[in-house]
Structure 1
Amino acid sequence: MDTDLEILLTNDDGIDSPGFRALHDALSEVANVVAVAPADDQSAVGRTMSNEVSVEDHELGFAIGGTPVDCIVAGLEALGPAPDLVVSGCNTGANLGAYVLGRSGTVSAAVEAAFCGVPAIAVSLHIPEEEWPREPAVEEYAEACRATRHLVELAPVRGVFEHADYLNVNAPIAGEEPAPMRVTRPSTVYEMAATQDGDSITLRDLTWETLGAGEVDDPEGTDRRAIADGEVSVSPLTAPHTTEHHEALDRLADEY
């Protein structure tokens, strides 16, 4: 393949997960792909980072004994070559909503890349609540792979990353017909529950349960609404935390 596009590919499910292989094979048709991914499952570790990690050669690149963020730093600073783009995924299970952005290892890898000055795309596959948990077949990632390839080929040259630091992509399981793509914003819906039974407490994310029950009341333009409607959701996001000027806080500081 004759291409100048260099991609660093990582995930949080582990380098041997089916979704990772599916995305690696799809992107290898249009780019030089080097895998720098966790050796095992690192789901929901957020931006946790280690001081030292192991590295082993893998048929796809490098298997790192650490987190997705470890993989980004190791890939960018030690293993090379310098990528044009970082892609994280394909995760088994959607990463939807504003509250997920700091929790997901898949998204956190993209955030870390953005902080390091490299544009990134995080990609996840939505598994319907009634089917969770299960490991989808490789072909079920086809829609996610098609969407990612489309964005990888066109987003950098069309100026998308002049305005967004990274994209959070969520795709449905591949069906008979291609899914449409919708630009979205992260949903702000969030509902947790905790019940105590003796010396243990069970935590439940009710946000997913409402999605599975078809009771989504998110407005048009949100990522959860797009997924509920069978669309590919693409949220353009920025990595640095924003601050807003507050006169009330100014007064507190002056009074200190």
Structure 2
Amino acid sequence: MVRLDFTARPPKRADLLQKYGVRGLPTILFLDPEGKVVGQLGTRDPNGVAREFAALADKYRPRFPWEASLEAALEAGRKDGRPLAILFTDGSKEAQATEAAFDDEPVRGLAARIAAVRHAIAKDCTICEAYKAAPGGRVVVVDPKSEDPAAAPLASLAGIQTCTTLAAGLKAALEKRKAAAAPAATPENGDASVEKECRMALMLARNFINQKAFDKAEEQIRKVLEKAPEGKLADQAKALQREIDAAK
């Protein structure tokens, strides 16, 4: 908030009085970031002042960037890799409260990590049926890259959601997706215990091959391939298997 004193004679920055059409003092104007007047305080009553400030703050506060349509949101998610939160709304107070929660922190702060779209609940809507939309609103979080996003949602949040519960649900969905995308533990990504077991199994397999105990050797080879299906250790196990096949 900026306070300008125009009581001096002649007033400093008189150009501002003309620019903003100030006719009397005191005058309180509300400007947007570009300097455009978006409102003027019309009351001196303390409660009225509070209401006008609150109304303008709500009108111009940052909003969650909703996607235009479900189809566009799914396509965008496939490209940028973000999960998608679908708000199924029936216009009820519960659904409106959940929609408003998207505009509050910390939910709005998740916009860079998760996309969102609104979809109206309607009778005989196949999309609503697929995602199990319910009266009162439901937020379903899906992975757009999934072959069938509706079949295995990352989260399904029913009923009124506050910014706190909504943020918690969205963060849990993000963690679930992250865990699902994480590579399985292999010697190549740092699991020392798995590497040790695989190397021991390869050594035993070699000894069994030398003894022509091929069944026991193949048992050790299978252990390696189960624990490390790809990578150098898997290549060594496959080489031993080819050696067995040639010897049989």
More helix by share: 2
Q: Please, what TM-score do these two structures have when normalized by structure 2?
A: 0.27
User: Which structure would you say has the larger Rg?
Assistant: 2
TM-score (norm 1): 0.26
More strand per residue: 1
Larger RCO: 1 or 2 (CA < 8 Å, sep 6+) = 1
